Amino acid sequence: MATHLVVRNIEPSVAQALKEAAARHGRSAEAEHREILRAALTRPARRSFKDVLAAMPDVGTDEDFDFRPP
């Protein structure tokens, strides 16, 4: 794997948080950075609200949702 990535102008607090997370996970800051990028970029894309609604089963009728307070 010959790809190199340089990230510049990171706030000191972010760099420190990376180092602390790396220490908690028992790996180098570079390995932690790789894992964060991998996890962020390979997780499934979030479905839109429209997609979630469209995936709901078609049950009941519109009248089931007709609510008129007394």
Question: What gap in Å lies between CA 7 and CA 14, rounded to an integer?
Answer: 12
> How distant, in Å, are the alpha carbons of 60, 61, 63 from that of 68?
18, 16, 11
Q: How confident is the model at residue 31 (pLDDT cuts 50, 70, 90)?
A: very high
**pTM for this entry:** 0.58
Retrieve residue 54's tokens.
């469209």
Which residues are within 8 A (CB) of 47 and not within 5 positions of it... i.e. 6 or more apart?
Answer: 55
pLDDT for the residue 67:
79
- Per the domain annotation, does 70 fall within a domain? no
Q: How confident is the model at residue 66 (pLDDT cuts 50, 70, 90)?
A: confident
pLDDT for the residue 2:
61
pLDDT in tens, 43-59: 777 889 998 889 988 87
- Per the domain annotation, does 66 fall within a domain? no
Structural domain for 45, as ranges:
12-56
Domain count, the chain: 1
